[in-house]
Amino acid sequence: MDEAVVLYSTPAVGHLVSMVELGKLILSHRSSISIHIFITAAPYSAGSTASYIAEVAAAVPSISFHHLPTVTLPSTAASHHETLTFEVIRLSKPHLRQALLSISKSHSINAVIMDFFCADSLSVASELNIPGYFFFASGAACLALLLYFPTIHENTTKSFKDLNTFLHVPGAPPVLSSDMPSPTLDRYDKAYEYFLELATSFPKSAGIIANTFELLEARAVKAISDGLCVPTTNTPPLYCIGPLIAAKNESDGVPECLTWLDSQPSQSVVFLCFGSLGLFSKEQLTEIAIGLERSGQRFLWVVRNPPSNNQSLAISPLADPDLESLLPDGFLDRTREKGLVVKSWAPQVAVLNHDSVGGFVTHCGWNSVLEAVYAGVPMVAWPLYAEQRFNRLLLVEEIKIALPMKESEDGFVTAVEVEKRVRELMDTEAGNSIRERTITMKNEAKAAVSEGGSSRVALSKLVESWKSK
């Protein structure tokens, strides 16, 4: 019987891309395996992944995609989009079971590797006697935080948003309770309950695969491996196999922004981009524009339409922005020599690897962080949602490859702060120090995924363990 590995992804593009890259990585180690990627229907629309899936399926025939049937949510009145994802995964369990049984008729399934949002599905793999692994698309310190979450829960009766204290997690820097991942801030929210269940599922798995590399987060990796984050039971093996970086796609010609970058001096441009879900109000966009103009720095800025209905995330399709009406009068003309504003999207990996780019203002999504590290580009950390405030803490205090963007209590960032941080990153000793540290991490990242490197060795151990199952 042919061997297969099933990867179970959530539909969010950042998670799907990481899962696909994991599939490619497994194939690079054992090409005889077929990879089957299961995807649930999205509970919200953040843009279609159909063209991306079609490209991968055409380029890598050993990877096939299976869309599980759409489920009907009992209610969509959730305060966090993560809750909707958890609900879809829970309701999709019968479909997952059916799909695994169907593949097992013609293949020997070595493993089911689940996105961490799919934790509720571990029971399906266990029932079918298939080893179940978790793929953690964020960093090891964030994983330490998640594994320790049940312990924190036991030691307090208050919501994190009301605690106003530092939480001490093995392997991680002290985290202010209000900087915990946003869906966990309210103890009485359904999202909190789901994350708590998720955290208690992890130790029951056959192993945890993390998109990081040992030297980037050495302290967190050691704390997890030593069992300090799960004091009540055994911790499964941890496989740090990152960084997983999506390959550059040059098939659609050269975008205008890359041509523009070609005409800019080396390491002179600061790149501002905020992920597939992050949105800003018109007022915030105005402050960014004023700050950039005053900074005097060259910039490439990806701008999306402001949210409607008080949404802070792009969980429904957005039209391209009308830049003239969104940005301050005359801004585009006045900055024409030094800046380029791009509507909605830019090829982030290609931009970060361009010689002209010397800094990155980012929302601290983990894929973006790793792409910056792998390209050796220092960051200004401006978190927007999910675990990104914790990631900022990690990047600024622990790894020291970013400067913090500081917001007011309501999350607003002034033009003065934007100007200050962009200048500091691009034109000061502090910025240079972070740049040197980032270059060191870039070299460590490349070493980790090279022959004999820590991530290659971890992948080998994972794939070899399936032979003995």
At 268-289, the pLDDT tens digits run 999 999 988 889 999 999 999 9
Q: For residues 134 and 153, what is the distance between their CA atoms, to the nearest angstrom? A: 22
Of 31, 92, 34, whose CA–CA distance to 67 is shortest?
92
pLDDT of residue 250: 53
Of 217, 331, 357, 216, whose CA–CA distance to 273 is shortest?
357
Q: Is the peptide bond before 404 cis (omega within 30 degrees of 0)?
A: no
Q: For Cα atoms 180, 404, 327, give the angle at the middle one, nearest 5 degrees.
A: 105
Structure tokens of 82? 């993560």
Which residues contact residue 28 at a Cβ distance below 8 angstroms, ignoring those fewer than 6 apart? none
pLDDT of residue 44: 73
| Statement to judge: residues 223 and 322 lie in one domain | no
pTM of the full predicted structure?
Answer: 0.95
| Statement to judge: residues 28 and 83 lie in one domain | yes
Q: 89 lies in which domain range?
A: 2-247+448-466
pLDDT of residue 46: 55
Average pLDDT over residues 243-259: 81
| Statement to judge: residues 38 and 183 lie in one domain | yes
pLDDT digits (tens, 9 = 90+) for 184-220: 999 999 999 999 999 999 999 999 999 999 999 999 9
pLDDT of residue 248: 63
| Statement to judge: residues 197 and 273 lie in one domain | no
pLDDT of residue 47: 66
Average pLDDT over residues 221-233: 98
- Please count the other Cβ atoms lying within 10 Å of the Cβ belonging to residue 446: 14
pLDDT of residue 192: 97
Confidence of residue 314 (pLDDT cuts 50, 70, 90): low
Mean per-residue pLDDT of the chain = 94
Average pLDDT over residues 291-307: 96
Q: Is the pLDDT of residue 304 over 70?
A: yes
CATH assignment at residue 397: 3.40.50.2000
| Statement to judge: residues 211 and 360 lie in one domain | no
Q: Is the pLDDT of residue 312 over 80?
A: no
pLDDT digits (tens, 9 = 90+) for 33-80: 999 999 998 877 656 788 899 999 999 999 999 999 999 988 767 778
Of 123-127, 246-250, 346-350, 400-404, the range with the lowest mean pLDDT is 246-250
pLDDT of residue 251: 54
Q: Is the pLDDT of residue 32 over 80?
A: yes
Of 171, 244, 260, whose CA–CA distance to 18 is shortest?
244
Higher pLDDT, 312 or 384: 384
Instruction: Return phi, psi of residue 239, to 5°.
Output: -115, 105
Q: For residues 237 and 144, what is the distance between their CA atoms, to the nearest angstrom? A: 13
| Statement to judge: residues 236 and 312 lie in one domain | no
The rounded percent of the chain whose pLDDT value lies above 90 is: 86
| Statement to judge: residues 88 and 214 lie in one domain | yes
pLDDT digits (tens, 9 = 90+) for 152-164: 999 999 999 999 9
pLDDT of residue 49: 85
Which residues contact residue 419 at a Cβ distance below 8 angstroms, ignoring those fewer than 6 apart? 290, 291, 292, 294, 295
| Statement to judge: residues 283 and 381 lie in one domain | yes
| Statement to judge: residues 167 and 196 lie in one domain | yes
| Statement to judge: residues 47 and 78 lie in one domain | yes
| Statement to judge: residues 153 and 138 lie in one domain | yes
Which amino acid, one-letter code, is at 16? L
Q: Is the pLDDT of residue 383 over 80?
A: yes
| Statement to judge: residues 231 and 374 lie in one domain | no
List b or e across 410-441, with b for residues whose CB sees 16 or more CB atoms inside 10 angstroms.
eeebbbebbbbbbbbbbeeeebeebbeebeeb
Average pLDDT over residues 7-20: 91
Query: For the chain, first and last CA: distance in Å?
Result: 15
In the chain, the number of structural domains is 2
